[in-house]
Structure 1
Amino acid sequence: MNNKSSRRKFISTAVILTAGSTTMAETLSMKTKNNKIAHQVYFWLKNPEDRQKLIEGVNTLKKIKTVRQIHVGIVAGTEKREVIDTSWGVSLLLFFDDIAGEASYQTDPIHLDFVKNYSNLWNKVVIYDAEMV
């Protein structure tokens, strides 16, 4: 085998390996950018007797097309422990396909109407957004 042939083999092998590495890196990059998003919201009610009204309002959010799952909750009657926060009144857990879906939810007219029509019921809201890994 001469030097020209060895050099060609080396170059073609390097090109193939580089292309494969680039494709794999792009696939991994796309995967991390498209991970599902969990949007967890906790509401502290001004008046505990408004809990059902807020639950009804929260349930209107399931009509938003980018919402994949919705779970609405209230404080569970589990064992009281120092690490458990039971000061909130209503919780909302939404799942989205990706960050774009969650961003679309934020500006959706149904979400904007919910905030406009029900924000008078709470005095505090805390939100945790998590990217699924």
Structure 2
Amino acid sequence: MNKSTRRKFLSTAAALTAGTAATAMTLAPTSKKYGIAHQVYFWLKRAGSEEDRQELIKGIKTLKNIETVREIHIGIVANTEKRSVIDSSWAVSELLYFDNVEGQAVYQTHAIHQEFAKNYSHLWEKVVVYDSALI
């Protein structure tokens, strides 16, 4: 390889590397770091009922109005490949983030959370909760 071609190759490779790194940095998560993740999975009494699922989602959305909830994400079962390690028996999930355990405790006793349980618990037959301290 002559010097001109090699120099051009190296400068092109360096530019591509820098561009890739810059793109990766802009795609890096920018969300704030929270202390507690509260993951909840709901199984509907009437499994497969789209009406009940939408009603439950409507209720979960009210939880974002609790002042200690920093982020809320609502999900339904993804149509990914079926594997033995994947549990797709649930219907709706919620993922809430709190700054700390105290914020999560406020959520548990908050009037909006209590109203949610009172008004929507007739829709589910099972609820499983996973609380995580984020590291």
State the TM bucket, normalised to the shorter chain.
0.7 to 0.9
Rounded Cα–Cα distance in structure 1 between residues aligned with 2:60 and 2:44: 13
Aligned to 2:61, the other structure's residue is in SS state: helix
Query: Given the two structures, how large is their TM-score scaled by the length of structure 2?
Result: 0.72
Q: Distance in 2 between matches of 1:119 and 1:46?
A: 10
Alignment partners' CA distance in 2, 1:127 and 1:64:
18
Larger radius of gyration: 1
In the alignment, residue 39 of structure 1 is paired with which amino acid?
Answer: H
Q: Find the partner of 2:114 among 105, 112, 115.
A: 112
- The number of residue pairs the alignment matches comes to 99
Q: Provide the C-alpha distance between the structure 1 equivalents of 2:122 and 2:76, rounded to a whole number of angstroms.
A: 19
* In 2, Cα distance between equivalents of 1:45 and 1:93: 17
Report the CA distance between 1:77 and its aligned residue.
0.3
Alignment of 1:1-133 (within 5 A): 36-47=35-46, 48-49=48-49, 50-133=52-135
In structure 2, what is the Cα distance between the partners aligned to 1:98 and 1:83? 30
Q: CA deviation at 1:79?
A: 0.6
**Overall identity of the aligned pairs, in %:** 64
Residue 78 of structure 1 aligns to a residue whose secondary structure is coil
User: Which structure has greater helix proportion?
Assistant: 1
When normalised by structure 1's length, the TM-score is 0.73
Which whole-Å CA distance do the structure 2 matches of 1:41 and 1:105 have between them? 13
Tell me by how many angstroms 1:130 deviates.
0.1
Structure 2: unaligned runs, 5 residues or longer: 1-33
Question: 1: CA distance between counterparts of 2:130 and 2:54?
Answer: 23
CA apart distance, 1:81: 0.4
